[in-house]
Amino acid sequence: MRNPLETVPQAAYEDDFVRIGDASSRGVWITSPTLVKAVLLDERDKFRKLTQIRLLGPLLRKGILTSEGADWKWQRQASAPMFRPAGLANFVPTFVRAAEDTLARWRASPHGSVQAVDDDMSRATFDVISTTLLPSSDEAFALAFQRSVQALQRFGGWDILFAALSLPYWVPRPGGVAKLRAMRTLRSAVTALVRERRGEQEAGSEAPDDLLHRLIAAHDPETGRAMDVEQLVDNLLTFYLAGHETTAKALTWTLYLLARSPEWTAMLEDEIERVTGGASVAGEHIEGLVLVQQVLKESMRLYPPVPIMSRQAVADAVIEGHEIRAGTSVLMPIYVIHRHARRWEHPDEFDPARFASEREAQIPRYQYMPFGAGPRICIGMSFAMMEATAILATLLRDARFATAEGRREPTPVAAVTLMPKGGMPLRVESRRNRR
Ligand code: HEM
């Protein structure tokens, strides 16, 4: 119950469509690219995001992630430009600074100490999102935010399971009250910050080019409509929640895989040295860090930060000959899709060369989808890739990783994001000390 991934039957790794329970059940696992495409694209009007809306709606209300139809469309159109790759290079110094702060903390410990790398990556991506999204955030805000995310993470597994079993939302579950309290505190803190910043922008003060500024200035290209304070808060919280732990987990699992792969570590170190010429990572280097990006992609194949996506059928549907009745939960276990026995060669093996450009082009679109797919694909995909590339390259310039002795392979646990059970302790050596 604490790990929905363990409830995925072995058959889902081999077949395309597996019912949960008997023929009358209201839940199915789908793992083939054509079925996933039917749900996320071709027949999308019949499948809605009710689970996510239930799970996250109390906090994120009507933001982009948790709204549908016209409500979703105009917000998506209005905020898409702020995440376009061309406008993101300005943020690279912020990404690099967060990684350098992490390195400085590691260097303050004795050489080769074991570090809680999962916590360190959460802190780094938290620093990034705070600086880019709500730059004026104070410590009380940071604390309220972190508590609320922890409450969500701790009880997330239950929510996914409840949704999978189609239990009504009012069935009592652990953590409900604590979670609601944390969410209320967080909303009021963000509202105060937004009002202050919007007031300044309206008064004509010069605003820095951060994501908050871009969101306040965003408008629907069709109608010219801009977001009111409620909608700004909904979306800021959405970007915070969607963009912080996901990227942290992508980096955490990547460092773990590199700790087990001296060959790829050496190849990345060489590439980073060659591309940056030994200088700090900068915006113009990102494109050239090809192997770094290959490793990140392979890491998100084996350990997708969002391990399970779901939709709920709102009308009867037949996809690829399978009958799905209205009310059925359709679960798309990205973790399983990425390790499907019939579709991947050596599915459990770490092999970043799969993502060398000519080989990557052969992978069907709906077979590899760490950022989802279809019209609701992650809006922060380019931001996350650029952030993870800059942070990883900066870390590898100075640090080398090894698995902590006596530690077994970490079990991935599906909460809202894919967490390593028991955290991710890794031995960190500074390369500087060795030069
Ligand atoms: C490695 C990092 C990330 C991963 C793996 C990831 C993954 C995903 C996935 C799988 C979805 C689709 C959910 C669904 O259709 O049910 C999604 C949607 C979304 N993501 Fe991300 N995400 C990441 C980073 C970010 C960042 C950095 C931001 C923003 C700053 C962000 C904002 C969003 C938003 C707003 C949506 C909803 C889009 C919509 O419904 O139109 N994500 N993400």
Q: Whose CA is nearest to atom 25 of ligand 1?
A: 243
What pLDDT is recorded for position 54?
72
In degrees to the nearest 10, what's the CA dihedral of 36, 41, 46, 50?
A: 70
Q: What is the pTM of this model?
A: 0.93
Ligand 1 and 250: CB distance under 6 A: yes
Amino acid found at 434:
R
Name the residue with higher pLDDT: 148 or 77. 77
Ligand 1 and 307: CB distance under 6 A: no
In this predicted structure, the answer to whether residue 220 has a pLDDT above a threshold of 70 is yes
What pLDDT is recorded for position 58?
73
Ligand 1 centroid to residue 379 C-alpha, Å: 6
What pLDDT is recorded for position 164?
46
Ligand 1 and 383: CB distance under 6 A: yes
Rounded to whole angstroms, the Cα distance separating 320 from 219 reads 40
Ligand 1 centroid to residue 265 C-alpha, Å: 28
Ligand 1 centroid to residue 328 C-alpha, Å: 24
What pLDDT is recorded for position 165?
44
Q: Whose CA is nearest to atom 39 of ligand 1?
A: 376
**Range of weakest confidence among 105-109, 135-139, 206-210:** 135-139
**Range of weakest confidence among 46-50, 121-125, 183-187, 236-240:** 183-187
Ligand 1 and 246: CB distance under 6 A: yes
Rounded to whole angstroms, the Cα distance separating 337 from 369 reads 9
**Index of the ligand 1 atom closest to the CA of residue 76:** 41
pLDDT tens digit string along 378-406? 999 999 999 999 999 999 999 999 998 87
Tell me the C-alpha to C-alpha distance, in Å, between residue 367 and each of 163, 249, 336, 339.
Answer: 24, 21, 10, 10
Name the residue with higher pLDDT: 163 or 413. 413
What pLDDT is recorded for position 111?
87
In this predicted structure, the answer to whether residue 52 has a pLDDT above a threshold of 80 is no
**Index of the ligand 1 atom closest to the CA of residue 240:** 30
**Range of weakest confidence among 25-29, 149-153, 188-192:** 149-153
Q: Whose CA is nearest to atom 16 of ligand 1?
A: 309
What pLDDT is recorded for position 244?
85
What pLDDT is recorded for position 156?
54
Name the residue with higher pLDDT: 221 or 157. 221
Name the residue with higher pLDDT: 99 or 422. 99
What pLDDT is recorded for position 170?
45
Query: Best substitution site from 160, 308, 378 to test ligand 1's pocket, by max atoms within 8 Å of Cβ?
Result: 378
What pLDDT is recorded for position 190?
85
In this predicted structure, the answer to whether residue 203 has a pLDDT above a threshold of 90 is no
N-to-C CA span, the chain:
48
Q: Is-contact 75 214, C-beta < 8 A?
A: no
- Residue 33 sits at the vertex; the CA angle it makes with 27 and 38, to the nearest 5 degrees, is 65
What pLDDT is recorded for position 204?
81
What pLDDT is recorded for position 300?
98
Ligand 1 and 242: CB distance under 6 A: yes
What pLDDT is recorded for position 150?
67
* Arithmetic mean of pLDDT, 270-277: 98
Ligand 1 and 76: CB distance under 6 A: yes
**Range of weakest confidence among 126-140, 170-184, 343-357, 377-391:** 170-184
* Arithmetic mean of pLDDT, 3-7: 80
Exposure b/e, 68-103, CB count within 10 A at least 16 = b? eeeebebbebbbeebbeeeebeebbebbbbbbbebb
* Arithmetic mean of pLDDT, 420-434: 86
In this predicted structure, the answer to whether residue 174 has a pLDDT above a threshold of 80 is no
What pLDDT is recorded for position 208?
79
Element (H, E) at 223: none
Ligand 1 centroid to residue 372 C-alpha, Å: 8
Amino acid found at 285:
H
Rounded to whole angstroms, the Cα distance separating 65 from 355 reads 28
Name the residue with higher pLDDT: 186 or 217. 217
Q: Is-contact 422 406, C-beta < 8 A?
A: no
Rounded to whole angstroms, the Cα distance separating 96 from 127 reads 11
Q: Whose CA is nearest to atom 13 of ligand 1?
A: 372
Name the residue with higher pLDDT: 180 or 5. 5
In this predicted structure, the answer to whether residue 425 has a pLDDT above a threshold of 70 is yes
What pLDDT is recorded for position 270?
98
In this predicted structure, the answer to whether residue 12 has a pLDDT above a threshold of 70 is yes
Ligand 1 and 335: CB distance under 6 A: no
**Index of the ligand 1 atom closest to the CA of residue 63:** 35
What pLDDT is recorded for position 168?
43
| Helix ranges (DSSP H) in 289-378 | 290-302, 334-337, 357-360
Tell me the C-alpha to C-alpha distance, in Å, between residue 308 and each of 57, 123, 159, 320.
Answer: 18, 24, 12, 21
* Arithmetic mean of pLDDT, 417-426: 92
* Arithmetic mean of pLDDT, 158-172: 46
Ligand 1 and 306: CB distance under 6 A: yes
| Helix ranges (DSSP H) in 203-333 | 211-217, 229-259, 262-276, 290-302
Evaluate the CA torsion angle 302, 304, 307, 313 in order and state its sign. Answer: negative
Residue 252 phi/psi, 5-degree rounding, is -60, -50
Name the residue with higher pLDDT: 284 or 140. 284
Of 377, 322, 378, 374, the residue nearest 41 (C-alpha)? 374
**Index of the ligand 1 atom closest to the CA of residue 369:** 10
* Arithmetic mean of pLDDT, 217-241: 91
**Range of weakest confidence among 23-37, 55-69, 93-107:** 55-69
Reported confidence tier of residue 154, pLDDT bands at 50, 70, 90 = low
Ligand 1 centroid to residue 65 C-alpha, Å: 8
What pLDDT is recorded for position 153?
59
**Range of weakest confidence among 7-21, 161-175, 347-361:** 161-175
* Arithmetic mean of pLDDT, 305-319: 93
What pLDDT is recorded for position 390?
98
Question: How many CA atoms, within 13 angstroms, populate the side-chain half-sphere of residue 78?
Answer: 25
Ligand 1 centroid to residue 329 C-alpha, Å: 20
What pLDDT is recorded for position 166?
44
Q: Which residues, 6 or more positions from 177, have their beta carbon under 8 angstroms from its beta carbon?
A: none
Q: Whose CA is nearest to atom 37 of ligand 1?
A: 65
In this predicted structure, the answer to whether residue 229 has a pLDDT above a threshold of 80 is yes
Rounded to whole angstroms, the Cα distance separating 200 from 6 reads 50
Ligand 1 and 376: CB distance under 6 A: yes
